[in-house]
Structure 1
Amino acid sequence: MKSGSAKVFSALVALAVLGIFRPVDLAAKEAVKQRVSEPGRYEGYSQPIYDGWQRSSVYVTVRDGTKIAVDILRPTRGGRLHSDALPVIWEHRRYQRAVQDVDGKIYSQLDRQDHPMRKVVLHGYVDAVAAVRGSGASYGTRVDPTPPQESLDAYDITEWLAAQPWCSGKVGMYGISYSGTAQFMAASTSPPHLKAIFPEMAMFDLYDFCYPGGIYRHTFIQNWASQVKGFDLHLAQKPAPVDGAKEDELLVALAQHKANFDVTRTIEVPYRDSNLDNISSVYIDNNPSSVIERVNQSGVAVYQRAGWFDMYPRDMLLWFNNLKVPKKIVIGPWDHYQSGGLDRGTEILRWYDYWLKGIDNGIMDEPPILYGVVGLPRDKALRWSGQWPPAESRPVAYYFSGGPSGSVDSVNDGRLSTIAPAPGTDRYQVDYTTTSGPRSRWTGGPVAYPDMAANDRKALTYSTAVLTDDVEIAGHPVVHVWIECKANDLDLFAYLEEVEPDGRSTYITDGCLRASHRRLDAPPHNRMGLPYHRSFAQDTEPLPAGPVELAFDLYPTANLFEAGHRIRLSITCADSDNNQTPQANPVPEVTVYRNAERPSRILVPIYKPQ
């Protein structure tokens, strides 16, 4: 029996021994044992010939005259700067390129002991970190959440770096979260010297992030807005000044930052086609997903890192499935900032040795997808795949059925079965206190979901019988729920969970939909066959007088449900710690249908080796 945290730890351990799980064709190439190139392990192809680095900083003036603060960290040996021109790998950073403490000491990104570029620089690369316009020591004002000028800044910075005498003319990028998304935006401008990028935990669709299923994600947005305001207005940490800059230059930059777009104003734009002030459309014109074709035209190679418990696993897989450039992705049991079990520095080094130094280390001979299955033993937890979802995964319908399952004292204690149910309904009075907890994937910090059994007791639940065999899944579960409600609108949240014999219920994944956004539309990109809700203002409509179907996907996952456990789907109408659900008075009652005509169900992506 394993708790949820133990399952994740098991998967992390498996990733830590990635070296024993490599494709046969790559293993055959390793005739010389000291030359090894595989995820997390890299020997004999390049050497750490440097032993330190030297920091300097400059202002780079971009095309509209804005001055961008850039740190440059060049490798040294014995205290002497490198003499050869080297490739540059840089980050377009939202959260301070460098800071200065009260004693005047400056701390760069490479002063972080866990920073992946510490390893990379010693192998003969220049690291650069630019503060995005409107932040830190950079000048400028941010006019919306993803300013279009910022992408052009990335073009100009890339080409400036490439033109420096200490640069070989080959440039790459790295970074996580905002810096991950910024790489796709940079690639969309096709800088001639940008050869490859390494985005981690990056956004694909700004609307789906702010309004998943049409429901405002207020907690994250409020917290993030407060955080970036602190950085932009120098309230938290003082940004390091640029070398030689006068003290009043920071004050000038600060004055420009005061007019930055307040991201909490996203509450004023609830639809995908909403307009705000002079911005034509926040979620269309400057949405990362809108630049797919331009990224493909750039030819820039892409290696992504994603996490099953991050906020962006679906986004990263949407990027992957829409990219036509050379591409790879690794997905593990990580949240937004975890990377346990995978040496990020090693992967960045392998990637850029190939794309920026021309070292044939076999990284592009590997299958394009490597993912970890949560819950499998360490010697079986890793899967290589040529596509996503894996060819070995097939959707299997598990129907909502009458109970009792005998596994939880919930509102209905229904059963989940692959056999079509006898006709029936379940009634549920909305409980606005239901929650997946304050440390969910949406909080950005370390994920720590509670035992979901407490939430389940306030919910409608549908649980399988005790599993007689292990059940492995890999892909995107999709929920179809037939409901009837007299309210004009309703939010629906679905949680896929694994129930242990002692009753503990472990969070696996979740999804949500506001009923008024239920209309299905043809997506503007490859959606992997998942339900797509355009969520234009004209698309929304109140609940009808009779039954209606809500269809939506849960975030992708790869998980082993152990024999002796149960699979559970929990349905609520609020996630109070994470999403903003209007509270109706009187409190609505919902009827869930489960019969042949209206078969409420979840399609579970069952993985069976071919």
Structure 2
Amino acid sequence: MRRGWACGAVSAALAFTLSSAAASTASGAPRFSAHGSANQVYVTGLAPHARMSLVNRRGQQIPSIYNQTIPSHGYGYLRTRDGTKLAIDVRLPSDLPSEVGLPVPVPRPLAGGQYPTLIEYSGYGYADPPAPVNGIAVLANAMGFAVVDVNMRGTGCSGGAYDFFEPLQNLDGYDVIETVAHQPWVLHHKVGMMGISFGGISQLFTAQTRPPDLAAIAPLSVIDQTQTTLYPGGILNTGFAFTWAKERVHDALPASPSGGQSWAYQQIQQGDETCKDNQALHSEAVNLLGKIRTNNHYVPAVADPLSPITFVNKINVPVFLACQWTDEQTGGHCPDLAEHFTGTSRKWFTFTNGQHIDSLDPQTFNRWCDFLQLFVAQDLPANGCALTRAAGPLIYQTAMGIPGVSLPPDPIQQQPTYSGALAAFENLAPIRVLFDSGAGSGAAGQPSPGFEDSFSRFPVPGTFGRSWYMGSNGTLNDSRTGRGANRFTWNPRALPMKDFNGGTGLGSGGLWTALPKYQWNPNPSGTSVSYMTAPLSSNTVVIGAGYARVWVRSSSRNVDLQATVSEVRPDGNETFVQNGWVRADERKLDARKSRPLEPVLSLRAKDVQPLPRGRFTQVTVPLYYEGHAYRAGSRIK
């Protein structure tokens, strides 16, 4: 048991009273059972709509933690059910910096001082008073929302100890939602959740707990499973994923000049005693890097609670979700989530090519704003989205360093009534795919798609598989052309370890700029094999997953394989589309989970099998999802 949990003989210190609406036995005595644990009481056996009160030994009713008062503006703390204090900062539209020169007036609170309210929740420095670290509260403020930025337990100035999406974090999220919703300044006494990346993923974990006052969630750039990002194909992702885990370990340390989140150390230096006291358990954070190394194979009891595809079916509120096929941080497996959101009929998804930040591209931004106005603010999008529409060029210059980007016309925002806008939005197809982002209207590299299409579900109805067979001389053919083998010698120094050397983000050489400078070079001869189709006779659109099935013989009993799919245009230019990976000794497929176009690796330790010596063995390389239009005359490589 982790130190710091408030445990004890809770049931011995509490008493229960039951109102007259409760179920009773024939003798009139109430019939239910209750037990206490960690400052919680679990009650079963009540009739529907029965009411209970929790009282102390003196018969005094114990107030709900959800009735606590938190600041209506600025920095403070929120107490969860186990007594942990989470650092928060309430940011209002009036906090928008005046020096940026907004083109229209800042939204004001409604009568009574109420704001539609959103929660942004992660282990980043969201509660940092000047501005959230890696947060997007400023965008929601510009849409007229108050934003409550919350640091997860064990990070920043929040109490407790950190672990990666443990159950306590999910329950904390529940408590945050219910506490904020009960504040007098919250419109409708319902709140939404919004955020990107860490702040998007946390919404999935929290919403599965079904807080009654959660209005909607809007996660951007998220994962479908921890495994598909951390161990793609059974290979540890030592690029972004493992580096991100190292950063979380550092951020979870007690705040000091050399560890923890720097803003928390500054708070302590400025006299924040609560922040100082909250560092007590930070040193008890779970060894996240050790946990990653230990769990290098699929163990359902460990992996499934960390895999949103296993629990998003519990989410019962409206959902707007956007992610990218080629996200350099969370990976290209997010679209797998769409078919698992079975708990709500109000769900909309946008998928596009692009980087981690492209879930905020103009077309997606419009729909994101519409969704939050309709389902959280319960207001006409034309009202709430007016400032962001006018400030579009400023937003994209600031967020991506790309000038001249405006939000396109939006039919939902052109609706004159709330009911009309809501009906129009609910009539939208659930699945929206944006193609060729960066090649639409405007200058090259601006975040605008060439075209888009919409579908009733994902995987897309009418999808069928197309196979090509590897042949001699590097060809991909419509049918098998005989026997043969191609050889190559793996050379880890054949190419640089990275094909991009700039920083993630905007600024000179940044990855999120219009035309980042990739050094994507072909492998030197003899260090890989490649195959290419004949020129396509017609445009071919691919939406979904796939695989490369190869027969492998190796001088090593184990090899890591990567398959890369690209489009080679008639002029010789090549466009990256997608990757797939597999560690050869992890090649066994999970027959129960696999589908014809989506093979799923077992990744269980019991299924590990080295390659046999001296003979060919079939290996399937699952390809991550793509949404790409291959043009007539191009070749698929």
Please, what TM-score do these two structures have when normalized by structure 1?
0.72
Q: C-alpha distance in 2, partners of 1:187/1:442?
A: 36
- How large is the Cα RMSD of the aligned pairs? 3.4
Tell me if structure 2 keeps the 8 A contact 1:303–1:328.
Answer: yes
Establish whether residue 194 from structure 1 lines up as the match of residue 217 from structure 2: no
- What is the CA distance between 1:522 and its match in structure 2? 3.9
**Structure ranking higher on relative contact order (CA contacts 8 Å, 6+ apart):** 1
Name the aligned partner's letter for residue 542 of structure 1: P
Matched, 1:273 2:302: no
Match of 2:492 in 1: 432
Once the two structures are TM-superposed, the CA of residue 229 in structure 1 deviates from its matched residue by: 4.0
Deviation at 1:239, TM superposition (A): 3.5
| Residue-pair matches, total | 486
Q: Secondary structure at the match of 1:91?
A: strand
> Alpha-carbon deviation of 1:421?
1.9
- Counterpart in the other structure of 2:325: 308
| Residue pair 1:309, 1:441 contacting (<8 A) in 2 also | no
| Residue equivalent to 1:120 | 143
Note the alpha carbon deviations across 1:419-455, whole angstroms, 9 max, x for none.
Answer: 3222211122222235685257999662754334246
- More off after superposition, 341-350 vs 329-338: 341-350
Q: Which aligned pairs between 1:190-589 and structure 2 lie closer than 5 A? A: 190-233=210-253, 234=255, 235=259, 237-239=262-264, 246-265=271-290, 266-273=292-299, 281-295=301-315, 299-310=316-327, 311-312=329-330, 314-324=332-342, 325=344, 326-339=346-359, 341-342=361-362, 346-358=366-378, 359-360=418-419, 361=421, 362-374=424-436, 381-403=451-473, 414-433=474-493, 438=498, 446=511, 449-454=518-523, 458-501=527-570, 503-523=572-592, 530-545=598-613, 546-568=615-637
**Alpha-carbon spacing, 1:552–1:127, altered in 2? closer, same or farther (3 Å):** same
2: distance between equivalents of 1:191 and 1:120? 24
1:85-133, CA deviations, whole angstroms, 9 ceiling, x for partnerless residues?
A: 333211112210143xxxxxx4124998994213222xxx321110111
- How far apart, CA to CA, are the structure 1 residues paired with 2:353 and 2:337? 19
Inter-partner Cα distance in structure 1 for 2:459 and 2:306: 28
SS across alignment from 1:337: helix
1:153 aligns with 2:172: yes
Instruction: After TM superposition, give the deviation of residue 242 of structure 1 in Å.
Output: 7.8
CA distance in 1, matches of 2:611, 2:503: 31
SS at match of 1:157: helix
Name the CA shift for 1:365/1:456 in 2 (closer, same or farther; >3 Å): farther
Q: Which residue does 1:4 correspond to in 2? A: none
1:294 Cα offset (Å): 2.7
Equivalent pair of 1:148/1:286 in contact (CA under 8 Å)? no
Q: Which amino acid aligns with 2:430?
A: P
| Gap runs ≥5 in structure 2 | 1-70, 95-104, 379-417, 442-448, 506-510
Does the 8 Å contact 1:119/1:345 carry over to 2? no
Structure-2 change in CA distance of 1:110 and 1:93 (3 Å): closer
Aligned counterparts of 2:501 and 2:461: Cα–Cα separation in 1: 27
What secondary structure, in the 3-state scheme, does the structure 1 residue paired with 2:141 have?
helix
Q: Tell me whether 1:59 sits opposite 2:121 in the alignment.
A: no
More strand by share: 1
Mapping 1:82-101, distance limit 5 Å: 82=110, 83-99=112-128
After superposition, the C-alpha distances for 1:30-53 in whole angstroms (9 at most, x for unaligned) are xxxxxxxxxxxxxxxxxxxxxxx9
> Does the Cα contact within 8 Å between 1:137 and 1:241 map onto a contact in 2?
no
CA displacement 1:308-362 (0-9 Å, x = unmatched): 2214465421211111112111112221123464266543331122223444312
Q: Secondary structure at the match of 1:151?
A: helix
- 1:301 and 1:327 in contact (8 A); partners too: yes
The superposition leaves residues 227-274 of structure 1 with CA deviations (integer Å, 9 ceiling, x where unpaired) of: 334433454631498899943433333343233234322123211129
> Post-superposition, which runs of at least 4 consecutive aligned residues in structure 1 deviate over 6 A?
77-80, 110-114, 240-245, 440-444
State the identity %.
23
Letter in 1 for 2:601: H
Cα-to-partner distance string for 1:470-511 (whole Å, 9 max, x where unaligned): 433222232111222343222111000122455443321001
Q: Distance in 2 between matches of 1:184 and 1:456?
A: 45
SS in 1 for 2:236: coil
Q: 2:87 aligns with which of 66, 69, 82?
A: 69
Taking the aligned partners of 2:503 and 2:463, their CA distance within structure 1 comes to 30
Q: How far does residue 368 in structure 1 lie from its aligned partner after superposition?
A: 0.8
